[in-house]
Amino acid sequence: MNTQIQLKDLTKTYQDGTQSFTALHDINLSIKAGERVAIIGKSGSGKSTLMHVMSLLDSPTAGDVLIEGKSVSRINEYQKNKLRNKAFGFIFQQFFLNPQQNVLHNVALPLKIDGVPSAERNEKAKSLLKNVGLEDKMNEKAVNLSGGQKQRVAIARALVNDPLVIFADEPTGNLDTETGKQVIDLLLQYNEEKNITLVVVTHDDDIAEICKKQIHLSDGKITKK
Amino acid sequence: MKITDYIITAQQNLFRQKLRTSLTMIAIFIGALTLSLTNGIGEGVRNFFTDQLSSAESENTILIVTNQTKFSTEDSGSPVGSIPEYNPEKQSLDGFAFTILTQEQCDFLQSDQKINDNLSLKDAVQSVYCGYPLQIEYITNPQEDKRYIADISTYVPEIRVELLAGRLITKDDENAIVVSERYATILGFEEPQDAVGKTVHVGVENPTSVIKEFPVTIVGVQPNSFVNGGQPFGNESLVREMYQYAVGNNEKLLDSYSGAIAVLDSDLSEDDVSEVRSYLHAENFETETFEEIIGRFVLQFIDLARWGLNLFALVVLLVAAFGIANTILMSVYERTREIGLMRALGASKKNVFFLMSFEAMILGFWGALIGLIGGIVIGTILSSIASNTILEGIDGFTLFAFPILSSIGIVVLIILISFIASIIPAIKAMRLDPIKALRHE
């Protein structure tokens, strides 16, 4: 299997006036295509920062991120946007749906950003809603859904662009155990069926358990792989 | 993102905050309404005068007098207001321009003098009409007893005159006149066509104060117009006959003219025309084109007044622009998380910038469109009220005009103002850090 994401001697420091804070220390890590990776740690351990840097939402202070062998420091803003838009899917703890928009349009958002014509993107969004079992909620405003339903919509949105990697930041953090399990099962299903790499940030041991690769972070350092 | 997606998304986002959007839109609406009305009245007045201008052969027809007399603006008369009744004790029309254009000068204009190596006066001038300084006493309908003052001048075929009824004067006419609609009315003809073919009398006084009435036939009725001050035209032999009676046997007076109208060859270039004019100036003539005469006095004033009025409307729009900026800024704060999400999902800074600026432009578009429609409705109502009251009797004068091009121009201008107003908030949105924006509560 190919190495899909590689972090080399990666350090991230935040500068706030005269004070500086190092969120990530010398991280070395590689993720292969189709792998399931859990990033585990207490809050403040740097796990979200690690995910942001890995997913190109943030850039490292030192070191490098390589996506399929290509150094990210060499690609421009436009290419980073394109990569996030076409190759990555994102799932957040707070779902981040547009509450006043209907479910279909929420799912189609990445395709709209990409400039896909509306008929085509709605078709694609519809088929994904079918897969997550929310086809009947298509025209419902997102605000009217339950937490579990919202996260399933978010999963559909993360998958609508046929990504290579899904980044999930505490995907079950706002859900009860039962719905949380459904959401995780759904993610596992896509990981297995479509070989989509899954990077999950979590402090839930049950979720960490199902991932072959577990990265434990503490004070910005990897303590256990 | 596609441009249609920007438009649709901006539209949806705007109408999520109906009250706020409507309040801002009211400000734009008021600005657009004011601008369409001020510009509309400017267009209306300007259109009226340009129509009047083009009804005369404006470019290649020049009035010529000697430089001993200046053009008098008063003798052009006015097509509005009532025509005074004849009073034997008083002079007729005010400001009659006395003239000293002699027979030799009139002949000179028709001679074969060389202007430059390529051009002679004969080539340049198609025809010359030397006008008699005829001063009549009155015009009257023999069926009625009222007599009205008037001023009859020679009809020049090159001056295009529109007609409401009848026909224009031809070469073979004898004792034929064309009157304006208001003369037809006061002479007792209700409709323009009633006047056609009817005989009226023109009173001319000779040097011994004997008034002779010349019977003349009305062959056509023209709209009330600024051309010739709305005064009647007569065929050349008629005017000459009346003038001969008026000056008696004074040969010197018989050979003097009030001025000449020279119709230049229509193929002459602008440079040639100015060449001809400067040649005539050197020969002690003064020349002016029709356009210059009316244009100088009227159009400049109209344009000045129009832009003065438009300036007021633009101030209103400036105020509205701050409203737009504020609205978009609030929208940016409200949707910080949404913007962060879009950035995370791959939207570029440019995408975010245009999403916000399109919101302003759509806001401006609707405000402008509603304002423009409101302006057209109000302007049309005011126009028809005005035509029936203060402007009664002036044909072809629509007080407010809304030509399609300047209407589109108003909408485009307001969209542009809205875009400019949105630049600062849109830049603020564009510069949001996606991670911080996603954490925003």
Q: Where are the domains of chain A?
A: 36-46+76-224
**What secondary structure does DSSP assign to A22-48, as a single string?**
EEEEEEEEEEETT-EEEEEE-TTSSHH
Which tokens sit at B232? 């009647």
Same domain, residue pair B141 and B246: yes
Q: Domain for residue B287, yes or no?
A: no
The answer to whether residue B422 scores a pLDDT higher than 60 is yes
Which whole number is the average pLDDT over B94-98? Answer: 44
What's the pLDDT score for residue A110?
95
pLDDT single digits (tens) B112-124: 888 887 788 888 8
Which whole number is the average pLDDT over B371-379? Answer: 95
Question: B149, B343, B78, B2: which is closest to A55 by C-alpha?
Answer: B343
Global pTM reads: 0.68
Q: Is A102 exposed, middle or buried (0-12, 13-18, 19+ CB in 10 A)?
A: middle
Q: What are phi and psi of B249, to 5 degrees?
A: -100, 10
In the predicted model, what is the mean pLDDT of chain A?
89
| B contact test, residue of A58, A109, A150, A201 with most B CBs within 10 A | A109
Contact check, Cβ <8 Å, A90/B344: yes
* Nearest beta carbon to residue B338 from set A57, A84, A98: A98
* Nearest beta carbon to residue A115 from set B2, B12, B435: B2
Question: B24, B32, B23: which is closest to B376 by C-alpha?
Answer: B32
Confidence of residue B213 (pLDDT cuts 50, 70, 90): very high
Q: What are phi and psi of B291, to 5 degrees?
A: -60, -45
Minimal CA separation from A164 to chain B, in Å: 14
The full length of chain B comes to 441
| The listed CATH number (1.20.900.10, 3.40.50.300, 3.30.2270.10, 3.90.1150.10) that belongs to domain A36-46+76-224 | 3.40.50.300
What's the pLDDT score for residue B410?
94
Q: Domain for residue B193, yes or no?
A: yes
Minimal CA separation from B423 to chain A, in Å: 21
The answer to whether residue B425 scores a pLDDT higher than 70 is yes
| Spatial distance between the Cα atoms of B50 and B58, rounded to a whole number of angstroms | 10
Buried b (16+ CB within 10 A) or exposed e, A57-95: bbebbebebbbeeeebeeeeeeebbebbbbbbbbbbbbb
| Spatial distance between the Cα atoms of A188 and A209, rounded to a whole number of angstroms | 12
Minimal CA separation from B369 to chain A, in Å: 27
Confidence of residue B162 (pLDDT cuts 50, 70, 90): confident
Contact check, Cβ <8 Å, A101/B12: yes
| Residue B431 sits at the chain A interface (C-beta within 8 Å) | no
Among the residue ranges A58-72, B48-62, B124-138, the one predicted with the least confidence is: B48-62
The B residues from 347 to 406 touching A (CB cutoff 8 Å) are: 347-349, 351
What's the pLDDT score for residue B301?
80
What's the pLDDT score for residue B94?
44
Residues of chain A with Cβ-Cβ distance to B338 below 8 Å are 96, 98
Residues of chain A with Cβ-Cβ distance to B12 below 8 Å are 101
Q: Domain for residue B289, yes or no?
A: no
| Residue A110 sits at the chain B interface (C-beta within 8 Å) | yes
What's the pLDDT score for residue B75?
41
Confidence of residue B347 (pLDDT cuts 50, 70, 90): very high
Highest mean predicted confidence (pLDDT) among A146-150, B27-31, B262-266, B304-308: B27-31
- Looking only at the bridges linking them, the beta strands covering A36-41 and A197-202 are parallel
Same domain, residue pair B430 and B311: yes
CB B94 within 8 A of CB B73: no
Which tokens sit at B266? 């229509």
Question: B37, B63, B21: which is closest to B291 by C-alpha?
Answer: B63
Same domain, residue pair B102 and B211: yes
Higher pLDDT, B338 or B85: B338
CB A182 within 8 A of CB A6: no
Strand spans (E) along A92-210? 165-169, 197-202
Which tokens sit at A215? 């990265």
Same domain, residue pair B66 and B150: yes
Same domain, residue pair B122 and B41: no
CB B198 within 8 A of CB B189: yes
| Spatial distance between the Cα atoms of B430 and B10, rounded to a whole number of angstroms | 15
* Nearest beta carbon to residue A96 from set B1, B435, B438: B438
What's the pLDDT score for residue B214?
93
Which tokens sit at A174? 């706002």
| Residue A57 sits at the chain B interface (C-beta within 8 Å) | yes
What's the pLDDT score for residue B70?
41
* Nearest beta carbon to residue B345 from set A52, A113, A118: A113
Q: Domain for residue B293, yes or no?
A: no
Higher pLDDT, A199 or A1: A199
The answer to whether residue B320 scores a pLDDT higher than 60 is yes
What's the pLDDT score for residue B294?
65
Contacts of B1 (CB under 8 A, 6+ apart): A112, A113, A115, B347, B351, B354, B355
Tokens 């129009």 found at: B306
In the predicted model, what is the mean pLDDT of chain B?
83
The answer to whether residue B147 scores a pLDDT higher than 80 is yes
Residues of chain B with Cβ-Cβ distance to A82 below 8 Å are 346
Higher pLDDT, A69 or B428: B428
Domain closes at, from B216, B247, B265: B265
Confidence of residue B95 (pLDDT cuts 50, 70, 90): very low
The B residues from 57 to 86 touching A (CB cutoff 8 Å) are: none
Q: Domain for residue B204, yes or no?
A: yes
Contact check, Cβ <8 Å, A114/B435: no
What's the pLDDT score for residue B96?
43
| Residue B164 sits at the chain A interface (C-beta within 8 Å) | no
Among the residue ranges A22-31, A104-113, B85-94, B389-398, the one predicted with the least confidence is: B85-94
Which whole number is the average pLDDT over B217-227? Answer: 82
Contact check, Cβ <8 Å, B345/A92: no
| Residue B338 sits at the chain A interface (C-beta within 8 Å) | yes
Q: Domain for residue B76, yes or no?
A: yes
> Number of CB pairs < 8 Å for A and B?
52
What's the pLDDT score for residue A181?
86
Number of domains chain B contains: 2
What's the pLDDT score for residue A37?
92
What's the pLDDT score for residue B394?
67
Minimal CA separation from B363 to chain A, in Å: 19
The answer to whether residue B91 scores a pLDDT higher than 50 is no
Which tokens sit at B222? 């023209």
Nearest residue of B to residue A80, measured between CA atoms: B346
Strand partners, A214: A38
The answer to whether residue A167 scores a pLDDT higher than 90 is yes
Strand spans (E) along B132-290? 138-140, 147-148, 153-154, 165-166, 176-180, 199-205, 211-222, 233-234, 256-257, 259-264, 285-289
CB A94 within 8 A of CB B437: no
| Spatial distance between the Cα atoms of B43 and B376, rounded to a whole number of angstroms | 12
| Spatial distance between the Cα atoms of B235 and A163, rounded to a whole number of angstroms | 91
Strand partners, B214: B202
Tokens 């929310």 found at: A134
Contact check, Cβ <8 Å, A84/B345: yes
Residues of chain A with Cβ-Cβ distance to B434 below 8 Å are 57
Same domain, residue pair B196 and B257: yes
Residues of chain B with Cβ-Cβ distance to A96 below 8 Å are 337-338, 341, 438
Q: Domain for residue B299, yes or no?
A: no
The answer to whether residue A112 scores a pLDDT higher than 90 is yes
What's the pLDDT score for residue B199?
92
| Spatial distance between the Cα atoms of B310 and B326, rounded to a whole number of angstroms | 25
Confidence of residue B82 (pLDDT cuts 50, 70, 90): low
Q: Domain for residue B277, yes or no?
A: no
Structural domain harbouring B332: 3-54+305-439
Which whole number is the average pLDDT over B96-111? Answer: 72
Give whole-number Cα distances, B346 to A161, B25, B84, B128, in Å.
11, 32, 81, 78
What's the pLDDT score for residue A173?
84
